[in-house]
Amino acid sequence: MSGYSAKSLDELPSLWDGFAHLVRPGLEITAFGANIMNLPPNYSTKSHDESESGQQELYVALQGSGSVDIGDEQLPLDAEHLVKVDAGTGRVLSSGPDGLRVLCVGGVPGGVYEAPEWSSSGE
């Protein structure tokens, strides 16, 4: 084992016709979950709250801009803004007019990371 791994986005497993790139299995990460989502312009994901997994999630915009919507609050997500959301808090990711490529990193505070089955392989 070399102690590191590096890949282009095109080399990572993907889901949903390239909507999500699976960083964790692609780079063989075991300590936390990581995915890159490519939201088309003016798109919003379904709300989710990670209450089952217990994960905190960190959202980092890699390209474009948008927001993390929590209730009536729209938290900006762009090159200058990061957002962390705790488990049990509903959130929606929304992209702006240029779309949004966002790195999503998740882990359970004080716990051992257990990958959800859907995130293990790709299409």
Q: What is the mean pLDDT of residues 75-84?
A: 97
Domain ranges, residue 77: 34-110
- Classify residue 89: in a domain, yes or no: yes
Burial class of 61 by CB neighbour count within 10 A (0 to 12, 13 to 18, 19+): buried
The residue that leads in pLDDT, 50 or 58, is 58
Q: Report pLDDT digits (tens) over 81-92.
A: 999 999 999 999
Total-model pTM:
0.89
- Classify residue 10: in a domain, yes or no: no
Q: What is the mean pLDDT of residues 43-61?
A: 93
Residue 102: CATH number of its domain:
2.60.120.10
Q: Answer for the pair 92, 86: CB distance below 8 angstroms, yes or no.
A: no
Phi, psi of 18 (to 5 degrees): 85, 0
The residue that leads in pLDDT, 84 or 16, is 84
